[in-house]
Amino acid sequence: MKKRSRIVAFLLIAILLFSLIGGTVQKVMKDVNLGLDLQGGFEVLYQVKPLEKGDKIDEEAVKATSKTLESRVNVLGVSEPKIQIEEGNRIRVQLAGVKNQNEARKILSTSANLTIRDANDKLLLSGKDLVQGGAKQGFKQDTNEAAVSLKLKSASKFKEVTEKVSKMTPNVMVIWMDFEEGKDSYEKEVKREQEGKQPKYVSAASVDQPINSENVEISGGFAGQDGLLRAKQIADLLNSGSLPVKLDEVYSTSVGAQFGQDALQKTLFASAVGVGLIFLFMLFYYRLPGLIAVITLSAYIYLTMLAFNMINGVLTLPGIAALVLGVGMAVDANIIMYERIKDELRIGRSLKQAYHKGSQSSFLTIFDANITTVLAALVLFFFGVSSVKGFATMLLLAILMSFITSVFFTRLLMSLIVNSNFFNKNFNLFGVNAKHRHDLSEGYDIHDLRTVWDRIDFVKLAKPLIMLSLASIILGVIALSVFKLNLGIDFTQGSRVDVKSAQTINVDTLEKDLKTVDLEEGTITLSGSDKKSAVVQYKEPLTKTQIDDLKNMIDDKYGFEPNVNTVSPVIGKELAKNAMLATLIASIGIIIYVTLRFEWRMGLTSVLALLHDAFLIIAVFSLIRLEVDMTFIAAVLTIIGYSINDTIVTFDRVRENLHKIKVITAPEQIDNIVNSSIRQTMTRSINTVLTVIIVVVALIFLGAPSIFNFSVALLIGLVSGVFSSIFIAVPLWGILKKRQLKANGGRLTVYTEKPKNDEKIYV
């Protein structure tokens, strides 16, 4: 009897889902917190150091500094500032969407140590003599020019100071912010002012007679709108409190707003193309289950973004890539179940029986495959920084949501379709031709089914291909020793400047422009087919002043604010150390998990295959001279977590085949198990990697340039991952298993679990 209510329920769920998505997607996307790489802004990591010799930096000093920085950020009006205290007396500040990055940098790092000195730079008064919170921005009555008024603790002390200054030649009282002994001087700044440059001191007023007052007015140099802004900033800085420490920039990155917008548009477009092609592939290849996959994948994307907003996540460029990669993982879960259902239909089971067996048998396989990716994502989260941490956050959320939608939601929709009884005889809609179905009474098992791969002897092919892999590793080692890695500033030190222009950039002109701000030794590389972008790299980190001058010059002459990344040698070494440690921990975690779920031989060969994939990515990058940065490490760790999915799925089938024969008495049996397991999962392996490759290729050709290297690393790893699973991991396990068989005297009992009851018939 046909149950029309099941079909009606299926249609209602689909209509309600797409109506919900259509009606709320704009709000969901509007609520997303964009990272600085997508909307512009800057991030800086400060090393907190003593202001004076002999001072000690303790936890309280770092906390007080963090609070002061937070109050200054509030002055900037940034909507979602992020200030974190890190180990080693460091503070990381992330300001996405800040309009004037140079001013923000000045406000943050300025110590706000106000001093009053004479013309000989001798200290007369300091910030300790000011009333806390007594600074105000006002206007001079006679000229209506902006001014800053200060309130002193002692009028008598100010009288003594002004009396002393009035008798000096020149009789000027100089007010400084962050005066540096041995570097700054009144005489030097007077010369700068005569050259038409802005002096570092705030004010230099003549004093003709003693002033008996506790109120001081700073005026002069605050003309126009810029002067008004400067006066307000000085008052705000003084009221926020002086920093009791010195802040050294050890790492910084700034992204121009236009770069962020371009990156967002390109990557979203590339992602849409990739996901659209996946939808078409699933519909074409899997038909009715493919339609269910499209529905559940749509739900996955929507729910992932909704959950991301709920945890106040910050979406970064690699984060979008993680979201799209999650589509590949969600597809993988669907494909594993659909292929299993197809196999069950082919041996003659009814649609209900095939669905029940397929969903039941695939659950643990999907679970195991996702757990390994979770391990890699967790390692990335704990060892990554900024955008890499954002990538890991999105990847973890994507794995969770893909598991929920592709396992539970898919099963709900499939059960409605199956139990409606409308499609009991329409096996073509599930990808199975009726001519290829056996009769269940024939006693066929899915392990007995023929496949299109039966003519290929994978065990025989594995031996020369393993030798080829060893040869490629040797060549890779030679290539690395000769060419080395093209390490980016993340792992060394220096600065990288990305320049964008509306016109074609001329290298000679850009070099001359850089010399105007005293920058000469940079390496310039044009990028993009239209040569309207360029990358300038410096071996040494640029100073705050150099970055300020550089950004202003490029913005004025080229019309776009540049991206500037600086990394100190200390941070470069730390990032390199953390990258190696992260890879090691991820590998150990995976080998432990696979050993516990399967056996140590499978765990060992799985990790050997993964290390092969990781090394191949590194060797290819060395040969083609692509830059290695933190996103490269994210790609390697993603491949470590992702490519093992294929190995686990194959090993899961190996375990099933082992359970079927129960006892091994000949090496040929092991070869048969290896061959049949690979053949039975080969279609799934190809389809899964194909769907992910579609997305990655779209990101390579259509995505933002900043994730090009990341996408290339993923592509190499995905292709290598399929190869290593088929020709390294499983065949190597076969070799180890044959040695175990020999050591056990030619007999192995492998069936240790209680057989499951497969006799229940579902109608």
Q: How far apart are CA 642 and CA 648, in angstroms?
A: 10
SS3 42: strand
pLDDT of residue 171: 86
Are the C-beta atoms of 172 and 165 separated by less than 8 Å? yes
Over range 253-277, report the average pLDDT: 86
Between CA 344 and CA 351, with CA 345 as vertex, the angle to 5 degrees is 105
pLDDT of residue 221: 61
pLDDT of residue 577: 79
Helix (H) or strand (E) holding 288: helix 288-310
pTM for this prediction: 0.78
Select from 3.40.50.10490, 3.30.1360.200, 3.40.50.11540, 3.40.50.10420 the CATH code of 112-242: 3.30.1360.200
pLDDT of residue 386: 64
Give the closest residue to 38 by CA, choosing from 189, 261, 277. Answer: 261
SS3 413: helix
Over range 193-212, report the average pLDDT: 78
Are the C-beta atoms of 104 and 124 separated by less than 8 Å? no
The yes-or-no verdict on residue 761 having pLDDT over 70 is no
Over range 264-292, report the average pLDDT: 91
Q: What is the CATH number of domain 448-485+574-749?
A: 1.20.1640.10
Residue 414 pLDDT grade (very low, low, confident, very high; cuts 50, 70, 90): very high
Q: How far apart are CA 293 and CA 286, in angstroms?
A: 9
Percent of the chain with pLDDT over 90: 17
Least confident of 220-224, 405-409, 439-443, 637-641: 220-224
Scanning 186-223, the segments in alpha helix (DSSP H) are 186-194
The yes-or-no verdict on residue 753 having pLDDT over 60 is no
Residue 716 pLDDT grade (very low, low, confident, very high; cuts 50, 70, 90): very high
Residue 754 pLDDT grade (very low, low, confident, very high; cuts 50, 70, 90): very low
- Per the prediction, the chain carries an average pLDDT of 83
What's the pLDDT tens digit per position in 460-481? 999 899 999 999 899 989 988 9
- Taking domain 36-108+248-255, whether its CATH number is 3.30.70.3400 is answered by yes
pLDDT of residue 239: 67
pLDDT of residue 733: 94
pLDDT of residue 303: 92
**Residue bearing tokens 């100190």:** 568
Q: Which two tokens stand for residue 48?
A: 């907190």
Residue 759 pLDDT grade (very low, low, confident, very high; cuts 50, 70, 90): very low
pLDDT of residue 244: 62
Strand partners, 48: 247
The yes-or-no verdict on residue 117 having pLDDT over 50 is yes
For residue 524, count CB atoms less than 10 angstroms from its CB and return exposed for 0-12, middle for 13-18, buried for 19 or more. middle
The yes-or-no verdict on residue 248 having pLDDT over 90 is no
- Establish whether domains 36-108+248-255 and 494-567 are of one fold: yes
Domain 494-567 -> CATH class: alpha beta
Are the C-beta atoms of 621 and 628 separated by less than 8 Å? yes
Q: How many CB atoms lie within 10 A of CB 646?
A: 27
Q: What is the CATH number of domain 4-34+258-440?
A: 1.20.1640.10
The yes-or-no verdict on residue 439 having pLDDT over 50 is yes
Q: Which two tokens stand for residue 574?
A: 């730390």
DSSP letters, 712-726, are HHHHHHHHHHHHHII
Q: How many CA atoms lie within 13 A of 687 on its CB side?
A: 24
Q: How many CB atoms lie within 10 A of CB 66?
A: 17
Over range 699-717, report the average pLDDT: 88
**Residue bearing tokens 């989260």:** 381
pLDDT of residue 78: 66
Domain ranges of the chain: 4-34+258-440, 36-108+248-255, 112-242, 448-485+574-749, 494-567
Give the closest residue to 257 by CA, choosing from 42, 80, 454, 444. Answer: 42
Percent of the chain with pLDDT over 70: 91
Rg (CA), the chain: 33
